[in-house]
Amino acid sequence: MLFNQIHKEAAVEKYIPKSVENLNEAEIERKRKHILLMTQVLYFLTNEFLSRKFQWLLPVIFSKSTDPLWPDPGASIEKRIETDVYETQVRTTLSMIVHKMVACSLFAERLFVISPNFRVERRERASTGWHAYEFNQLDFEMRDATSRDVMRTVEEVLTGLAKYVGDKCEYLIDSEVYDALKDVRGPFEIRDRDFLVSEYGDNWEEVLPKEIKRPVWVVNIPREFYDFEDFETGRWDNYDLYVPKYGEILSGARREFEYEKIVAKMERDGIRKENYSVLLKLSRDGKLKRSSGAGIGIERLVTWISGAHHVCETQLFPRVPGIVYEL
Ligand code: ASP
Ligand code: MG
Protein backbone atom coordinates (compact mmCIF):
# COMPACT_ATOMS: atom_id res chain seq x y z
CA MET A 1 0.00 0.00 0.00
CA LEU A 2 2.49 2.56 1.22
CA PHE A 3 4.96 1.39 -1.39
CA ASN A 4 2.52 2.13 -4.21
CA GLN A 5 1.44 5.41 -2.67
CA ILE A 6 5.00 6.74 -2.64
CA HIS A 7 5.42 5.40 -6.10
CA LYS A 8 2.53 7.48 -7.40
CA GLU A 9 3.59 10.62 -5.56
CA ALA A 10 7.09 10.23 -6.91
CA ALA A 11 5.79 9.93 -10.44
CA VAL A 12 4.26 13.37 -10.20
CA GLU A 13 7.38 15.32 -9.32
CA LYS A 14 11.01 14.69 -9.91
CA TYR A 15 11.91 12.59 -6.94
CA ILE A 16 15.26 13.27 -5.32
CA PRO A 17 16.14 10.50 -2.87
CA LYS A 18 16.64 11.76 0.67
CA SER A 19 19.34 10.98 3.17
CA VAL A 20 18.50 8.12 5.58
CA GLU A 21 17.85 10.37 8.59
CA ASN A 22 15.10 12.24 6.71
CA LEU A 23 13.05 9.29 5.51
CA ASN A 24 9.46 9.00 6.69
CA GLU A 25 7.95 5.67 7.66
CA ALA A 26 6.76 4.76 4.19
CA GLU A 27 10.10 5.70 2.69
CA ILE A 28 11.95 3.55 5.21
CA GLU A 29 9.74 0.64 4.21
CA ARG A 30 10.47 1.30 0.56
CA LYS A 31 14.20 1.48 1.26
CA ARG A 32 14.01 -1.87 3.07
CA LYS A 33 12.46 -3.39 -0.02
CA HIS A 34 15.22 -2.05 -2.21
CA ILE A 35 17.84 -3.49 0.12
CA LEU A 36 16.16 -6.90 0.10
CA LEU A 37 15.94 -6.83 -3.67
CA MET A 38 19.57 -5.72 -3.99
CA THR A 39 20.60 -8.65 -1.80
CA GLN A 40 18.70 -11.12 -3.99
CA VAL A 41 20.14 -9.64 -7.17
CA LEU A 42 23.71 -9.83 -5.84
CA TYR A 43 23.11 -13.35 -4.60
CA PHE A 44 21.87 -14.46 -8.01
CA LEU A 45 24.54 -12.67 -10.07
CA THR A 46 27.53 -13.79 -8.02
CA ASN A 47 26.29 -17.40 -7.99
CA GLU A 48 25.67 -17.28 -11.69
CA PHE A 49 29.17 -15.99 -12.55
CA LEU A 50 30.81 -18.40 -10.10
CA SER A 51 28.94 -21.35 -11.58
CA ARG A 52 30.23 -20.25 -15.00
CA LYS A 53 33.78 -20.59 -13.65
CA PHE A 54 34.56 -16.90 -13.30
CA GLN A 55 37.11 -15.88 -10.62
CA TRP A 56 35.85 -13.26 -8.17
CA LEU A 57 38.37 -10.45 -7.67
CA LEU A 58 38.24 -7.59 -5.18
CA PRO A 59 38.27 -3.97 -6.33
CA VAL A 60 40.94 -1.28 -6.08
CA ILE A 61 40.05 2.30 -5.19
CA PHE A 62 43.17 4.41 -5.91
CA SER A 63 45.47 3.94 -8.89
CA LYS A 64 47.81 5.91 -11.09
CA SER A 65 45.87 4.48 -14.00
CA THR A 66 42.12 4.22 -14.42
CA ASP A 67 39.49 4.41 -17.16
CA PRO A 68 40.01 7.70 -19.07
CA LEU A 69 36.23 7.83 -19.78
CA TRP A 70 37.25 9.79 -22.82
CA PRO A 71 36.22 10.17 -25.55
CA ASP A 72 32.77 8.99 -24.57
CA PRO A 73 29.70 10.84 -25.87
CA GLY A 74 27.69 9.73 -22.81
CA ALA A 75 30.15 10.85 -20.13
CA SER A 76 29.58 14.09 -18.25
CA ILE A 77 32.22 14.21 -15.57
CA GLU A 78 32.54 17.46 -13.62
CA LYS A 79 35.77 16.52 -11.91
CA ARG A 80 38.26 13.68 -11.79
CA ILE A 81 39.26 13.02 -8.20
CA GLU A 82 43.00 13.11 -7.77
CA THR A 83 44.87 12.83 -4.53
CA ASP A 84 48.28 11.83 -3.23
CA VAL A 85 49.20 8.55 -1.67
CA TYR A 86 52.85 8.42 -0.52
CA GLU A 87 53.59 11.56 -2.55
CA THR A 88 52.30 9.78 -5.64
CA GLN A 89 49.40 11.18 -7.61
CA VAL A 90 46.50 8.73 -7.90
CA ARG A 91 42.93 8.82 -9.12
CA THR A 92 39.85 7.15 -7.72
CA THR A 93 38.50 4.34 -9.85
CA LEU A 94 36.38 5.50 -12.80
CA SER A 95 36.08 1.88 -13.87
CA MET A 96 38.29 -1.16 -13.46
CA ILE A 97 38.70 -1.68 -17.19
CA VAL A 98 42.51 -1.44 -17.21
CA HIS A 99 42.94 -3.74 -14.20
CA LYS A 100 40.42 -6.11 -15.72
CA MET A 101 42.32 -6.37 -19.03
CA VAL A 102 45.62 -6.94 -17.22
CA ALA A 103 44.15 -9.52 -14.83
CA CYS A 104 42.41 -11.36 -17.64
CA SER A 105 45.64 -11.50 -19.67
CA LEU A 106 47.91 -12.63 -16.85
CA PHE A 107 45.89 -14.45 -14.21
CA ALA A 108 42.29 -15.35 -14.82
CA GLU A 109 40.70 -16.35 -18.09
CA ARG A 110 37.30 -15.37 -16.75
CA LEU A 111 36.88 -12.89 -13.95
CA PHE A 112 34.47 -10.51 -12.37
CA VAL A 113 34.76 -7.79 -9.78
CA ILE A 114 32.13 -5.70 -8.06
CA SER A 115 33.80 -2.34 -7.89
CA PRO A 116 32.82 1.12 -6.76
CA ASN A 117 33.14 3.66 -9.57
CA PHE A 118 33.45 7.35 -8.73
CA ARG A 119 32.09 9.55 -11.48
CA VAL A 120 31.41 13.08 -10.35
CA GLU A 121 28.57 13.70 -12.76
CA ARG A 122 27.53 17.25 -13.58
CA ARG A 123 24.99 18.38 -10.97
CA GLU A 124 22.23 18.93 -13.57
CA ARG A 125 22.08 15.16 -13.69
CA ALA A 126 20.50 15.02 -10.20
CA SER A 127 17.03 14.85 -11.70
CA THR A 128 17.62 12.50 -14.62
CA GLY A 129 16.87 9.73 -12.12
CA TRP A 130 19.57 7.74 -13.86
CA HIS A 131 22.86 9.09 -12.49
CA ALA A 132 24.73 8.71 -9.23
CA TYR A 133 28.15 10.17 -8.46
CA GLU A 134 29.25 6.88 -6.96
CA PHE A 135 27.93 3.49 -8.03
CA ASN A 136 28.93 -0.14 -8.27
CA GLN A 137 29.66 -2.06 -11.36
CA LEU A 138 29.78 -5.79 -11.85
CA ASP A 139 32.65 -5.76 -14.30
CA PHE A 140 33.57 -8.99 -16.03
CA GLU A 141 36.01 -10.08 -18.70
CA MET A 142 36.41 -13.27 -20.77
CA ARG A 143 39.65 -14.22 -22.51
CA ASP A 144 39.36 -15.24 -26.18
CA ALA A 145 35.66 -14.43 -26.15
CA THR A 146 33.89 -12.59 -28.96
CA SER A 147 31.39 -9.83 -28.37
CA ARG A 148 28.67 -12.31 -29.33
CA ASP A 149 29.85 -14.63 -26.50
CA VAL A 150 29.52 -11.79 -24.00
CA MET A 151 26.14 -10.74 -25.30
CA ARG A 152 24.89 -14.30 -25.05
CA THR A 153 26.23 -14.62 -21.50
CA VAL A 154 24.44 -11.41 -20.50
CA GLU A 155 21.21 -12.55 -22.14
CA GLU A 156 21.33 -15.85 -20.26
CA VAL A 157 22.17 -14.24 -16.94
CA LEU A 158 19.47 -11.57 -17.22
CA THR A 159 16.85 -14.06 -18.41
CA GLY A 160 17.71 -16.17 -15.36
CA LEU A 161 17.65 -13.14 -13.08
CA ALA A 162 14.25 -11.99 -14.33
CA LYS A 163 12.84 -15.43 -13.64
CA TYR A 164 14.53 -15.65 -10.25
CA VAL A 165 13.24 -12.33 -8.97
CA GLY A 166 9.84 -13.04 -10.54
CA ASP A 167 9.62 -16.29 -8.56
CA LYS A 168 11.19 -15.10 -5.32
CA CYS A 169 10.63 -11.39 -5.01
CA GLU A 170 7.20 -10.51 -6.36
CA TYR A 171 6.38 -8.60 -3.16
CA LEU A 172 9.41 -6.36 -3.74
CA ILE A 173 8.56 -5.32 -7.26
CA ASP A 174 6.15 -2.84 -8.81
CA SER A 175 3.32 -4.81 -10.46
CA GLU A 176 3.78 -3.35 -13.96
CA VAL A 177 7.45 -4.19 -13.89
CA TYR A 178 6.64 -7.65 -12.58
CA ASP A 179 4.58 -8.36 -15.71
CA ALA A 180 7.28 -6.95 -17.98
CA LEU A 181 9.96 -9.13 -16.37
CA LYS A 182 8.10 -12.26 -17.46
CA ASP A 183 8.82 -11.16 -21.00
CA VAL A 184 12.58 -10.85 -20.55
CA ARG A 185 14.10 -13.57 -22.65
CA GLY A 186 17.21 -13.59 -24.85
CA PRO A 187 18.26 -13.09 -27.55
CA PHE A 188 17.67 -9.37 -27.30
CA GLU A 189 17.16 -7.24 -30.38
CA ILE A 190 20.24 -5.44 -31.74
CA ARG A 191 20.22 -1.87 -33.08
CA ASP A 192 23.05 0.07 -34.65
CA ARG A 193 23.83 3.44 -33.13
CA ASP A 194 24.12 5.06 -36.58
CA PHE A 195 20.61 3.90 -37.36
CA LEU A 196 19.30 5.25 -34.05
CA VAL A 197 20.88 8.64 -34.70
CA SER A 198 19.29 8.83 -38.15
CA GLU A 199 15.93 7.61 -36.81
CA TYR A 200 15.64 9.60 -33.56
CA GLY A 201 18.31 12.28 -33.84
CA ASP A 202 21.05 13.08 -31.36
CA ASN A 203 18.88 12.52 -28.30
CA TRP A 204 18.15 8.90 -29.29
CA GLU A 205 19.28 7.82 -25.82
CA GLU A 206 16.21 9.49 -24.33
CA VAL A 207 13.79 8.30 -27.01
CA LEU A 208 14.85 4.67 -27.23
CA PRO A 209 13.88 3.58 -23.67
CA LYS A 210 10.37 4.97 -24.24
CA GLU A 211 9.98 2.98 -27.46
CA ILE A 212 11.06 -0.45 -26.31
CA LYS A 213 9.26 -3.14 -24.32
CA ARG A 214 12.27 -5.41 -23.76
CA PRO A 215 16.02 -4.93 -23.35
CA VAL A 216 17.77 -3.90 -26.59
CA TRP A 217 21.43 -3.98 -27.57
CA VAL A 218 22.93 -0.87 -29.12
CA VAL A 219 26.13 -1.58 -31.05
CA ASN A 220 28.85 0.35 -32.85
CA ILE A 221 29.45 3.22 -30.43
CA PRO A 222 32.57 5.40 -30.90
CA ARG A 223 34.34 5.80 -27.52
CA GLU A 224 37.48 4.95 -25.48
CA PHE A 225 40.65 3.38 -26.90
CA TYR A 226 40.08 0.01 -25.25
CA ASP A 227 36.94 -0.86 -27.26
CA PHE A 228 37.71 -2.54 -30.60
CA GLU A 229 37.51 -0.35 -33.68
CA ASP A 230 37.90 -1.65 -37.21
CA PHE A 231 40.09 1.00 -38.85
CA GLU A 232 39.03 -0.12 -42.33
CA THR A 233 35.27 0.01 -41.93
CA GLY A 234 35.16 2.52 -39.08
CA ARG A 235 32.87 0.18 -37.12
CA TRP A 236 33.22 -0.40 -33.39
CA ASP A 237 32.76 -3.90 -31.99
CA ASN A 238 31.07 -2.84 -28.78
CA TYR A 239 27.65 -2.82 -27.20
CA ASP A 240 25.44 -1.19 -24.58
CA LEU A 241 22.27 -2.70 -23.17
CA TYR A 242 19.19 -0.46 -22.88
CA VAL A 243 16.16 -1.33 -20.76
CA PRO A 244 12.61 -0.02 -21.20
CA LYS A 245 11.66 3.24 -19.48
CA TYR A 246 15.15 3.92 -18.09
CA GLY A 247 18.14 3.58 -20.41
CA GLU A 248 21.58 2.03 -20.41
CA ILE A 249 22.47 -0.54 -17.74
CA LEU A 250 25.57 -2.14 -19.28
CA SER A 251 28.52 -1.26 -21.52
CA GLY A 252 31.08 -3.55 -22.99
CA ALA A 253 33.23 -4.48 -25.94
CA ARG A 254 35.70 -6.72 -27.61
CA ARG A 255 39.06 -5.23 -26.63
CA GLU A 256 41.95 -3.79 -28.51
CA PHE A 257 45.12 -5.76 -27.78
CA GLU A 258 47.56 -4.71 -30.53
CA TYR A 259 50.22 -2.24 -29.49
CA GLU A 260 50.28 -0.09 -32.64
CA LYS A 261 46.54 0.31 -32.66
CA ILE A 262 46.28 1.21 -28.99
CA VAL A 263 49.06 3.80 -29.36
CA ALA A 264 47.46 5.26 -32.49
CA LYS A 265 44.12 5.61 -30.72
CA MET A 266 45.65 7.14 -27.59
CA GLU A 267 47.50 9.70 -29.68
CA ARG A 268 44.42 10.48 -31.72
CA ASP A 269 42.29 10.95 -28.57
CA GLY A 270 44.89 12.90 -26.56
CA ILE A 271 45.20 10.21 -23.87
CA ARG A 272 48.33 10.41 -21.71
CA LYS A 273 50.29 7.27 -22.63
CA GLU A 274 52.42 7.50 -19.47
CA ASN A 275 49.30 6.62 -17.41
CA TYR A 276 48.94 3.31 -19.23
CA SER A 277 52.53 2.06 -19.41
CA VAL A 278 51.75 -1.37 -17.90
CA LEU A 279 49.00 -2.01 -20.43
CA LEU A 280 51.19 -0.72 -23.26
CA LYS A 281 54.17 -2.83 -22.25
CA LEU A 282 52.03 -5.96 -22.09
CA SER A 283 50.65 -5.31 -25.54
CA ARG A 284 54.08 -4.49 -26.97
CA ASP A 285 55.39 -7.79 -25.57
CA GLY A 286 52.43 -9.70 -27.03
CA LYS A 287 51.14 -10.49 -23.53
CA LEU A 288 47.88 -8.58 -23.68
CA LYS A 289 45.34 -11.22 -24.61
CA ARG A 290 42.29 -11.02 -26.80
CA SER A 291 39.21 -10.63 -24.63
CA SER A 292 35.73 -9.22 -24.45
CA GLY A 293 33.74 -8.13 -21.44
CA ALA A 294 31.24 -5.73 -19.96
CA GLY A 295 30.27 -3.83 -16.86
CA ILE A 296 26.77 -4.01 -15.40
CA GLY A 297 25.63 -1.04 -13.33
CA ILE A 298 24.24 -2.80 -10.27
CA GLU A 299 22.11 0.07 -8.97
CA ARG A 300 20.70 0.65 -12.47
CA LEU A 301 19.88 -3.02 -12.82
CA VAL A 302 18.03 -2.96 -9.50
CA THR A 303 16.26 0.28 -10.47
CA TRP A 304 14.92 -1.36 -13.61
CA ILE A 305 13.82 -4.49 -11.76
CA SER A 306 12.21 -2.64 -8.87
CA GLY A 307 10.60 0.13 -10.91
CA ALA A 308 12.29 2.77 -8.74
CA HIS A 309 12.00 6.42 -9.68
CA HIS A 310 15.60 7.31 -9.14
CA VAL A 311 18.67 5.13 -9.27
CA CYS A 312 19.85 6.57 -5.92
CA GLU A 313 16.74 5.12 -4.24
CA THR A 314 18.41 1.73 -4.57
CA GLN A 315 21.39 3.03 -2.59
CA LEU A 316 21.04 2.97 1.17
CA PHE A 317 23.21 6.10 1.24
CA PRO A 318 22.21 8.02 -1.91
CA ARG A 319 24.90 9.54 -4.15
CA VAL A 320 22.73 12.06 -6.01
CA PRO A 321 24.75 14.28 -8.39
CA GLY A 322 25.33 17.67 -6.75
CA ILE A 323 24.07 16.61 -3.30
CA VAL A 324 26.46 15.39 -0.64
CA TYR A 325 24.72 14.03 2.47
CA GLU A 326 26.54 13.39 5.74
CA LEU A 327 26.43 9.61 5.26
N1 ASP B 1 33.94 -1.11 -17.13
C2 ASP B 1 33.72 -0.62 -18.46
C3 ASP B 1 33.22 0.78 -18.43
O4 ASP B 1 32.82 1.26 -17.40
C5 ASP B 1 32.74 -1.46 -19.16
C6 ASP B 1 33.43 -2.39 -20.04
O7 ASP B 1 33.72 -1.98 -21.17
O8 ASP B 1 33.68 -3.50 -19.61
O9 ASP B 1 33.20 1.41 -19.45
MG1 MG C 1 33.53 2.24 -21.14
* CATH code, 118: 3.30.930.10
Task: Kindly state the average pLDDT of the residues 159-180.
Answer: 92
In a domain, 74, yes or no: yes
Q: Is residue 8 scored above 80 in pLDDT? A: no
Tell me how far the alpha carbon of residue 139 lies from the centroid of ligand 2, in angstroms.
Answer: 11
Taking the CA atoms of 294, 148, 161 and 301 in sequence, report the sign of the dihedral they define. Answer: positive
Tell me how far the alpha carbon of residue 3 lies from the centroid of ligand 2, in angstroms.
Answer: 35
In a domain, 327, yes or no: no
Atom 7 (ligand 1) nearest CA = 252
Q: Is residue 75 scored above 80 in pLDDT? A: no
**139 in ligand 1 pocket by Cβ < 6 Å?**
yes
**215 in ligand 1 pocket by Cβ < 6 Å?**
no
pTM reported for the whole predicted model:
0.95
In a domain, 208, yes or no: no
* Range(s) of the domain holding residue 287: 2-183+260-314
Number of compact structural domains in the chain: 1
Tell me how far the alpha carbon of residue 21 lies from the centroid of ligand 1, in angstroms.
Answer: 34
Task: Kindly state the average pLDDT of the residues 253-258.
Answer: 98
* Residue 174 banded pLDDT, cuts 50, 70, 90: confident
Q: How far is CA 255 from CA 98, 164, 168, in A?
A: 11, 31, 36
Tell me how far the alpha carbon of residue 257 lies from the centroid of ligand 2, in angstroms.
Answer: 16
User: In the prediction, which pLDDT does 73 show?
Assistant: 76
Helices 277-284 and 259-269: crossing angle, nearest 10°? 150
Q: Is 182 exposed, middle or buried, given 0-12, 13-18 or 19+ CB atoms closer than 10 A?
A: exposed
Instruction: In whole angstroms, give the CA distance from residue 15 to residue 309.
Output: 7
SS3 149: helix
Structure letter (DSSP) for residue 173: S
In a domain, 69, yes or no: yes
User: In the prediction, which pLDDT does 13 show?
Assistant: 56
Q: How far is CA 205 from CA 74, 180, 197, 212, 245, in A?
A: 9, 21, 9, 12, 11
**250 in ligand 1 pocket by Cβ < 6 Å?**
no
Task: Kindly report, residue by residue over 20-58, the tens digit of the pLDDT.
Answer: 999 999 999 999 999 999 999 999 999 999 999 999 999
SS3 91: strand
Q: Tell which wins on pLDDT, 3 or 285.
A: 285
Q: How far is CA 16 from CA 250, 302, 326, in A?
A: 23, 17, 16
**154 in ligand 1 pocket by Cβ < 6 Å?**
no
Q: What is the largest CA-CA distance in the chain?
A: 61
Tell me how far the alpha carbon of residue 304 lies from the centroid of ligand 1, in angstroms.
Answer: 19
User: In the prediction, which pLDDT does 132 show?
Assistant: 98
Task: Kindly report, residue by residue over 137-147, the tens digit of the pLDDT.
Answer: 999 999 999 99
Contact residues for 324 (Cβ-Cβ < 8 A; gap 6+): none
Tell me how far the alpha carbon of residue 222 lies from the centroid of ligand 2, in angstroms.
Answer: 10
**252 in ligand 1 pocket by Cβ < 6 Å?**
yes
In a domain, 176, yes or no: yes
Atom of ligand 1 nearest to the CA of 226: 7
In a domain, 101, yes or no: yes
Q: Is residue 158 scored above 50 in pLDDT? A: yes
In a domain, 281, yes or no: yes
Atom of ligand 1 nearest to the CA of 294: 8
In a domain, 137, yes or no: yes
Helix (H) or strand (E) segment spanning residue 62 = strand 62-63
